[in-house]
Amino acid sequence: MDRGCFITFEGIDGCGKSTQIGLLTGYLEERGIDYLLLREPGGTVIGENIRTILLDKKNSGMTDMTELLLFEAARAQIVSEVIRPAVESGKVVICDRFFDSTAAYQGYAKNMGQDVVETLNQLATGGFYPDITFLLDITPEQAMERRAARGEEDRIEKLGMEFQKKVRDGYLAIASESSRIVKIDGARTPEDTFSEILGYLEEMI
């Protein structure tokens, strides 16, 4: 069977990933294309348990290293249990965040070092990388307005505006070095943003 494809969405909190992913899954459903939608951290029973630990506001004492290793642990599980087998069996796999989140959040914004994060990303994925990654780029101010409209913030989102700025800069730095990552202006209407995304995907799916 032909290999499917592996698509990831990235961006700062409140960048509009969920809306774009919803438009994409709607598009695939209309055309009867078999897909799998996952999120990181999560996507497996073990990964969802790790997610609960990571996002729980009670765990404010978590060290940055613990956090990094938990993200990578959840990733190792989802790649081996779900993503790799699904792509190899011909499915389109869409993942809401993947290892570029770790590079931007832990590597850049938390200053844990790109080399460390790259090594762990490589170990956790066994070298199984996305075919294409959409970075939805908006300013932290625009993201803040969107998040406020959504209600309560989780532990990581509570880190605030300065942090989101660093995450955005991290993403922009990573995107400028990778042909896999497509930077998309996420400040437009959802429809305009989606039509640009579709332009990249039409020949892949």
Instruction: Tell me which residues touch ligand TYD (CB under 6 A).
Output: 13, 39-41, 55, 71, 96-97, 101-102, 105-106, 154, 156-157
Smallest gap from residue 175 Cβ to ligand TYD (A)? 16
Residues 6+ apart with CB under 8 A from 109: 163, 166, 167, 170
- C-beta of 32 vs 151, nearer to ligand TYD: 151
Q: How far is the CB of 55 from ligand TYD (least distance, A)?
A: 6
Give min distance, CB of 59 to ligand TYD, in A: 13
Q: How far is CA 101 from the centre of its chain?
A: 6
The residue among 39 and 91 lying less far from ligand TYD, judged by its C-beta, is: 39
Q: Give least dist CB 90 to ligand TYD, A.
A: 25
Nearer to ligand TYD, 163 or 194 (CB): 163
Which of residues 3 and 45 has its CB atom nearest to ligand TYD in the complex? 45
For residue 41, the minimal CB distance to ligand TYD (Å) is 5
What's the closest the beta carbon of residue 125 comes to ligand TYD, in angstroms? Answer: 12
Residue 34 or 79 with smaller CB distance to ligand TYD:
79
Q: Secondary structure of the chain in the HEC alphabet?
A: CCCCEEEEEECCCCCCHHHHHHHHHHHHHHCCCCEEEEECCCCCHHHHHHHHHHHCHHHCCCCHHHHHHHHHHHHHHHHHHHHHHHHHCCCEEEEECCHHHHHHHHHHHCCCCHHHHHHHHHHHHCCCCCCEEEEEECCHHHHHHHHHHHCCCCCCHHHCHHHHHHHHHHHHHHHHCCCCEEEEECCCCHHHHHHHHHHHHCCCC
Give whichever of 12 and 36 is closer to ligand TYD, judged by the CB atom: 12
